[in-house]
Amino acid sequence: MLNYKAMNILHIASSYFDRGLYKVFFSNLRKIGFENIIYVPRWNNNYSIEQSGIYMIDKKYSKVSKFLYWGQQKYIYDDISRRIDLSQIDILHIHRLFYGGYAARKIKERYNIPYIVTIRNSDIYQYLKYRITIRNHACKIMLGASKVIFISKAYQDYVLGNFVPKKYIQSIKEKSVVLTNGIDDIFLENKQNPKRKIIDKNIKLICVAEISNNKNQLTIVKACKELIQKGYEVKLTLIGKVIDERYFHKLENENMVKYYPYCSKEEIIEHLRNADIFVMPSKHETFGLVYAEAISQGLPVIYTRNQGFDGQYQDGKVGYSVQYNNYYEVADKIMKICDDYYNISVNCVNYADAYSWSHISQKYKKIYDQSVLVSRY
What is the reported pLDDT for 29? 93
Mean pLDDT for the chain overall: 88
Buried b (16+ CB within 10 A) or exposed e, 140-155: ebbebbbbbbbbbbbb
Find the angle CA(339)-CA(343)-CA(347) to the nearest 5 degrees: 135
What is the per-residue pLDDT for 10?
95
Q: What is the pTM of this model?
A: 0.83
State pLDDT tens for residues 299-352.
Answer: 999 999 988 788 888 999 999 999 999 999 999 999 999 999 999 999 999 999
Closest to 22 measured CA to CA, from 151, 171, 182, 162: 182
Residue 170 near residue 142 (C-beta atoms within 8 A): no
Q: What is the pLDDT of residue 327?
A: 95
Distances in whole angstroms, Cα of residue 148 to Cα of each of 15, 80, 144: 19, 22, 10
Domains and CATH numbers, the chain: 4-182+356-376 (3.40.50.2000), 185-354 (3.40.50.2000)
pLDDT at 2: 44
Report the relative pairing of strands 319-322 and 301-304 from DSSP bridges: parallel
pLDDT at residue number 51 = 54
Spell out, as residue ranges, where the chain has pLDDT lower than 50. Answer: 1-4, 50, 66
Q: Residue 67 has what pLDDT?
A: 58
Structure letter (DSSP) for residue 242: B
Are 304 and 283 within 8 A, CB to CB? yes
186 — alpha (psi -120 to 50), left (phi > 0) or beta? alpha
